[in-house]
Amino acid sequence: LNINIDERGPSAFLTIQEGCDKFCTFCVVPYTRGAEYSRPLTSIIDEANKLIDVGVKEITLLGQNVNAWSSKGLDNQNWGLGRLIDELAKINELKFIRYTTSHPLDMDIELIKCHRDNKKLMPYLHLPIQSGSDKVLKMMNRKHTAKEYLKIIEKVRQYNPEIAISGDFIVGFPGETEKDHMSTLSLIQQVNYAQAYSFKYSKRPGTPGSVFLNHVDEEIKNSRLYEVQELLRSQQLSFNKQTINSSSKVLVLKKGKKKHQYIGRSPFNQSVYFSSKNKDLIGSFIDLNITEAFQNSLKGNILSDL
């Protein structure tokens, strides 16, 4: 890794897990990427140290099903993602740790406690559910119910009340009725997401879902997607607005388009814009007072240059 911070930026991705054993009926990953494979602990620690050596301050751990990661630990016991994060947090120059994408079935108590106890793990959890309807979840082969998902969210918030929750939704899965759609809207209201991604169902060749009958009409899909996205947008905006007048420690990622403008990322994964005449802030952590909130970003003023 003979690259410097100007070329690669202060934030990096580190793949720790590949493949998936879940076989959701809409997803092609188990067929294209194969079975779940976890990288050994030592190779992850080595790569993290190399990234730190070239100036990285924030690492996002990646996996098709990242919280299924497990490996033999330094004590010869089997470690899960929570233990891995605790080990990575011992690297002094590594300040922010994130991970994505998770499956509800692999949110163990160790990882949930890590969100409470580990100050370097950011208060942000991307936990897709795809639908709020148990019937649809069963057809998707998600192997959990809406109620079980809500219980996990409740537990995570019990351990870390500040956490921002993000999710994924597939709208118009084959056989989805208006009642199923209403169940999804109800679940979104109960969770109150900080951000979320939503898509219309589309056939993936080679997946079980592609041969299902009862495909939903495109116009119905469009109107349902609009309703889901409007609700998610309003939740995201109100989450962002809650941060106005609060202070936030932001990692400065790059320069913005305007003169003296910088763009950073908050612990809650929000883009934050601010101005400074200091020419060399990329890679530093700045305390900002948040002054304005928009749909997809925040604006702030510098409290102190650290």
pLDDT tens column, 156-197: 999 999 999 999 999 999 999 999 999 999 999 999 999 999
pLDDT of residue 69: 97
pLDDT of residue 168: 97
Q: Which residue ranges in the chain fall short of pLDDT 50?
A: 1-5, 305-306
- CA dist 283 and 52 (Å) reads 11
Q: How many helices (H) and strands (E) does the chain have?
A: 9, 14
pLDDT of residue 279: 84
What pLDDT digit, counting tens, does each position of 210-238 carry?
Answer: 888 889 999 999 999 999 999 999 999 99
Question: E strands along the chain, which residues?
Answer: 11-18, 37-38, 58-63, 70-72, 78-80, 96-100, 124-126, 164-171, 195-200, 247-255, 261-265, 271-275, 285-293, 297-305
User: pLDDT exceeding 90 applies to what percent of the chain?
Assistant: 86
- CA dist 258 and 44 (Å) reads 38
pLDDT of residue 304: 63
State how beta strands 261-265 and 247-255 pair.
Answer: antiparallel
pLDDT of residue 175: 95
pLDDT of residue 1: 43
- CA dist 266 and 17 (Å) reads 25
> Would you say 115 and 159 are in contact if contact means Cβ atoms under 8 Å apart?
yes
pTM: 0.93
